[in-house]
Structure 1
Amino acid sequence: MASLLSRLPVLKQLRQSVGLQRGMLVTGLVITGVFVLVAVFAPAIAPYGFAQLRGADGPFGAQQPPSAEHIMGTTVGGYDVYSRVLWGAQTAVLVILVAVVCSIFVGILLGLVSGYLGGWLDRVLVVIGDAIYAFPSLLLAIVLSIVISGGQSSLWGGILAAALSITVVFIPQYYRVIRAETIRIKAEPYVESAKMLGASPLRIMFRHVLRNATRTLPVIFTLNSSEALLTLAGLGFLGFGIEPTAAAEWGYDLNKALSDVTSGIWWTALYPGLAIVLAVLGITLVGESLNDLADPRLRGRKRVKARSGAVSMTSVDTTLPSDLEIRQENA
């Protein structure tokens, strides 16, 4: 069991990290872990529902300042800010999982087929991928969100619309990485040996090539997760996200808090914005740390420096005679 845990990507990189790299990775893991735990236990932690407007004593009231009953105040629509922030983490995690997982599967499949088979199919997929990649990601997500849901949707309808719009943006990234790795790996001797033994193309792609072409996916997964969160917040801020009665979404809450900021009502915009910043910061720290640790030169620079210093100190030949000994022998 211990050996199995030590082979997990993040735990393996954590053991390899040193100094600032380890500090960044640990900080990112802690923030991301809290973000995920809040999303999982939001129904138990949140004192109210994400669309709840009334309590035991009556309506909450709009734009109420922080108090014992509402520790983060209420929004212009009369929702509890603290509850909306907690429920918003759940919506963000669902969209990230659906978007990134779908884009991974589609991108890996297209990259394997395109890189291994080549030919006209490879050229067509490269052109399509470059065309999609050239569009601004947020603009493309807005267009696809309008096409899929018309900008208005239910909980799962909005989650799927946002996730699918983000998926289309991310597919070219995974496609490029897997295609480049597949082209490199299919020229390796063990792949040529499998061909000589009569292995089918499907067996070679999924048994020999896929295993070695997906080593950098944890890095891309974490970096794309933060980008997916920002894209979701951007869609909600521009009014193409999920309706407030269907789910809590931080970008939508920021949009409704714009007019409050100029009136001195700071709490309706501060906490959703802070939630976005912290979630993106935690995921980005994990992704950047994994990216650094994936490079052996960056991963081992401290150890190499220590070893080179030790070698240089012990490499002096102390067996050579001194000048005094040489003069004495000549005399």
Structure 2
Amino acid sequence: MTTATLRPVAKPSLWQRLPVVHQLRQSVGVQRGMLVAGLVLMAIFILTAVFAPLLAPFRFNQLRDASGTFGSQQPPSAAHPLGTTVGGYDVLSRVIWGAQTAILVIVVAVLLSIFIGVLLGLVSGYFGGWPDRVLVVVCDAIYAFPSLLLAIVMSIVISGGKSDLAGGILAAAISITVVYIPQYFRVIRAETVRIKAEAYVESAKVLGASSPRIMFRHVLRNATRTLPLIVTLNSSEAILTLAGLGFIGFGIEPSSAAEWGYDLNKSISDVTSGIWWTALFPGVAIVLAVLGITLVGESLNDLADPRLRGRRAVAKASGEVAETSVVPGGTLDGGPGGIRGLEDGESFDEHGIEVRS
């Protein structure tokens, strides 16, 4: 019987192992197009937020320049490419500065949610007992509430509904954090309960490792594999929650920061009067930002699930066995038969023709 030659494949570089770069190399076809489109939209969103002071022609609360006041509800022109709002603000400047506000809220909310949710989930899942049961009941109760309603309540409690830039961002971020903590808690707790029964965790206990060392060195690093996916999906939800708070009047004051939801609220009466530019551009900004983050999140979800990403198709395109294959010496070249040739015990000659014993 002729056997296939299995050759070790060179280990990917550090750059190729980066989370987004690794998924980009794995993706194929329409899936890759979705991921690239999402990354492009996210890059535009982030760069706009970072360079807002350079890109925006005016400040977010500026009402006049050297030539005088801007005027209310002015149509798009050379001086104001996207027109002005009912309050006399430049629409383009408000849209650009609104990206910065959204980024700040997302960063603060996601960091707080990850820190609190992961810590509670890790402790609850590892130690169990009555604290675990109490935390599960509390998180399930919070998770049962409508997210926007809970954010409204928290916003009122924290800041009375409106605040300055720092206070408003913190209030909005904490409001969103309370909504997202149960999601991180449930995911990390479930992974911790599963991982703590693994042989390597039992071995660490036998060797005398302390509980904190086992939790943070062995359990945590294996329980957080799905966090990038949750972060991307929660980021898009955070933008919608922030816009919802601003739209119903519980957001940040316009003199303190630009916020897309607030601008949409003030443009309701404009739409009925045929003034379209005050509502169109903030709405488009929300849609594109959420779309970009959602495309990245859904693509990561597909690539993380072997049933969805089509492992065989990816393997045939790359000619490599997936790195999850447990083979001494590392990943192997599957040859012309790809993974199917290895899984079914088939062999192929140099021309890709099947050789049977």
TM over 0.5: yes
Hey, what does 1:166 align to over in structure 2? 176
The corresponding residue for 2:68 is: 58
* 2:283 alignment partner, one of 273, 280, 283: 273
Matched, 1:259 2:269: yes
Q: Distance in 1 between matches of 2:315 and 2:169?
A: 47
Structure 1 residue aligned with 2:21: 11
The 5 Å alignment of 1:179-328 reads 179-299=189-309, 300-303=311-314, 314-315=353-354
Q: 2:62–2:89: 8 Å Cα contact kept in structure 1?
A: yes
Distance 2:186 2:20 in 1: 23
Asked whether 1:103 is paired with 2:117, we answer no
- Give the deviation of 1:305 after TM superposition: 7.2
Tell me if the contact between 2:27 and 2:314 (Cα under 8 Å) persists in the aligned partners.
no
**3-state SS of paired residue (2:86):** coil
CA RMSD, aligned part only? 1.8
The Cα of 1:316 is off from its aligned counterpart by 8.2
| Post-superposition offset of 1:55 | 1.1
Which residue identity is paired with 1:67?
S
- Please identify runs of 4+ aligned residues in structure 1 that moved more than 3 A: 303-317
Cα offset, 1:39, TM superposition: 0.1
TM-score by length of 1: 0.92
Q: State the distance in 2 between where 1:39 and 1:288 align.
A: 23
> Match of 1:144?
154
Instruction: Kindly provide the CA deviation profile for residues 153-208 of structure 1, in whole angstroms up to 9, marking residues without a partner as x.
Output: 00000000000000000000000000000000000000000000111111000000
1:86 aligns with 2:86: no
Local SS of the residue matching 2:215: helix
Identity of aligned residues (%): 77
The structure that is helix-richer by fraction is 1
Structure 2: stretches of 5+ with no match in the other structure: 1-11, 318-336, 347-351
Is contact 2:312-2:339 (8 Å) kept? Answer: no
- Could you tell me how far apart the structure 1 residues matched to 2:79 and 2:289 are? 26
Distance in 2 between the 1:259 and 1:56 partners?
30
- Return the alpha-carbon distance in structure 1 between the equivalents of residues 102 and 68 of structure 2: 30
Question: The residue matched to 1:3 in structure 2 has which SS?
Answer: coil
> Post-superposition shift, 1:314?
3.6
- Contact 2:26/2:314 (8 A) holds in 1: no
| 2:58 paired with 1:48 | yes
Provide the residue aligned with 1:325 in structure 2.
Answer: none
Cα deviation, residue 248, structure 1? 0.0
Aligned twin of 1:322: none
Give 2:57's aligned amino acid: P
